[in-house]
Amino acid sequence: MFLFNFLVLTILCVKCQGVYINGKEYDEYHFSKNGVSHRILHQKRFSSLPWVVRSVYNKTYLTTGWDSFDLETNPEVDDNEQAFLAGYLEGAETQEAIYDHYFNTVRSTCDDKTELCQRINHYLDTNIEWIKGMVEQHAANDPYWNQVNLFYLQMAGIVFGYNSVAPRDKILTVRDIMWINFNWDFGDLESAMKNETNKVLKGNSHCSALIKLLRSKSDILVAHNSWTGYETMRRIMKRYYLPYKNVTGTMVSFSGYPGTLVSGDDFYIINSGLVVQETTNDNNNASLWAYVRPTGQVLEVIRVTVANRLAGGGRSWTKIFSQYNSGTYNNQWMVVDMNKFSPGSVKPELLWILEQMPGYIRAEDQTDALTAQSYWASYNIPFYPDVYNMSGTQALADKYGDFFIHDKCPRARIFKRDHEKVLNAHTMMQLMRSNDFQHDPLSRCNCSPPYSTENAIAARNDLNLINGTYPFPALSHRSYGAIDAKVTSYKLSQSLSLWAVSGHSTGAHLPPFRWSTSDFNRSLPHRGHPDLFNFQPVLFSWPSQQRTD
């Protein structure tokens, strides 16, 4: 079964406990144990396999800020069947969460830009046709294109599974699920089609990330927080075990969103030994958008998935990811290879740094830089001088000053000052949630009042004054900021485990975010969200799943 055959799939028919999918009959068992939902799919017709795909779904979002979804397929099943059924089970199990996320983030996206969305959809259709041709030619023999095909099949399965249980008034199309998954790419695609710089909000930051070698190299910590709009805070922590053939990374845990096959933050812990994360670098050079084309390129969210599955180290990850650069969702990627670390010892190629712009990628081993200063910090400004210059960031620095200079911006200086406070996962979490914008001199700006909560490791822009005066809108009052933090270590990563907290920073005595008292309560959709975000960090340790087969 090749790409987009799902467009003509037979409608799922449920009878008793039997389901028919793509001409095959399965028994589906759905039960709850200790309040946790389990689904298991079995082949019928004399199959010797005890199960095909199974999942465990813990609906704890309203109490901890995270649901968790643990998905596993049987390695004896054909790769294509694994991918589609994995998506089917996720779509059916998390249908309510998917609709909430769609309602809040995609449903109204095109209401005031119909023509632009038509152009984006045309781009997507053209890109899909090109990818379909490449898959038909190469998937049987080329692992890269086989993984591209499996990505689309899993996404197709989500559509199929979702609609098998969704009420009629909440049916979603293939296009809807694509918009959920490709939304990160579409931001840059929109800018390319307008031939404009990346964001109207100059300096609109996206994430903070830190890699820290503890004293005497006793441990290495990898941490990330995601900055985005508050409407996106419907979170699911996921673990996929997809034992496809000829794949190095068969298991991955990541912070994610309902209906998405990728983290989007991005933060991945992979059983190949890699920990992968990024912060976004805006393209402010409109001439580079000429390199964004619908053919010959693969969207970024697919390329990161393929690299995560096929790569065995940082060097190979960057080579795989660099193929078919779409020039969309341009990031600084940090690839930490835990196979190159042991307590007290660091080997070359522990840390690879890749930066992307349309038409250009640069990647190098930065282990020496990490060991020399004991940390690597990332905060949405390109590190490599050529990437920095071609991105147009220098022009912003000339106009607005240090905010746009790599080693002088507020977060660079805060990380440089405070990274020594990191002694363990707990203190790393404290740093990644830190914000004392009213008192920290590094949070000051040419503003009235003379500071901005944007100038912190974990922004809380809802706390900036509505009637304040700011040199550019990114520093102002808006529904945007750090919505989480994730931390893993050498030991935790061995079992794909991490600490994670959902919601806004409460920093140095900042009030928790509450929708009902926020001025965004009426203007911003937040279906399914709790009213108050005041959650504590959760340890996701992914214990062995024990099910009744």
Confidence of residue 46 (pLDDT cuts 50, 70, 90): low
Burial degree of 27 (CB within 10 A; 0-12, 13-18, 19+): middle
* Tokens 């397929």 found at: 73
Mean pLDDT within 110-123: 94
d(CA 105, CA 96): 14
pLDDT score of 14 more than 60: no
Please write the tens of the pLDDT for every residue from 437-489: 999 999 999 999 999 999 999 999 999 999 999 999 999 999 999 999 999 99
Mean pLDDT within 136-158: 97
Please write the tens of the pLDDT for every residue from 64-109: 999 999 999 999 999 999 999 999 999 999 999 999 999 999 999 9
pLDDT score of 223 more than 90: yes
pLDDT score of 146 more than 70: yes
pLDDT at 195: 74
Give the tokens for residue 493.
């990563």
537, 499 Cβ separation under 8 angstroms: yes
Mean pLDDT within 496-523: 96
pLDDT at 12: 37
d(CA 443, CA 92): 45
pLDDT at 206: 84
What pTM was estimated for this model as a whole? 0.95
| Residues paired with residue 226 on neighbouring β-strands, in sequence order | 207
Contacts of 399 (CB under 8 A, 6+ apart): none
360, 193 Cβ separation under 8 angstroms: no
pLDDT at 227: 97
Question: What is residue 332's three-state secondary structure?
Answer: strand
CB count, 10 Å around CB of 481?
Answer: 26
Contacts of 50 (CB under 8 A, 6+ apart): 42, 549
pLDDT at 226: 98
Mean pLDDT within 406-412: 97
Give the tokens for residue 109.
């996206």
pLDDT at 383: 98
Please write the tens of the pLDDT for every residue from 373-384: 999 999 999 999
Q: Are strands 341-342 and 532-533 parallel, antiparallel or unpaired?
A: unpaired
Pick the range with the lowest mean pLDDT from 64-68, 109-113, 137-141, 335-339: 109-113
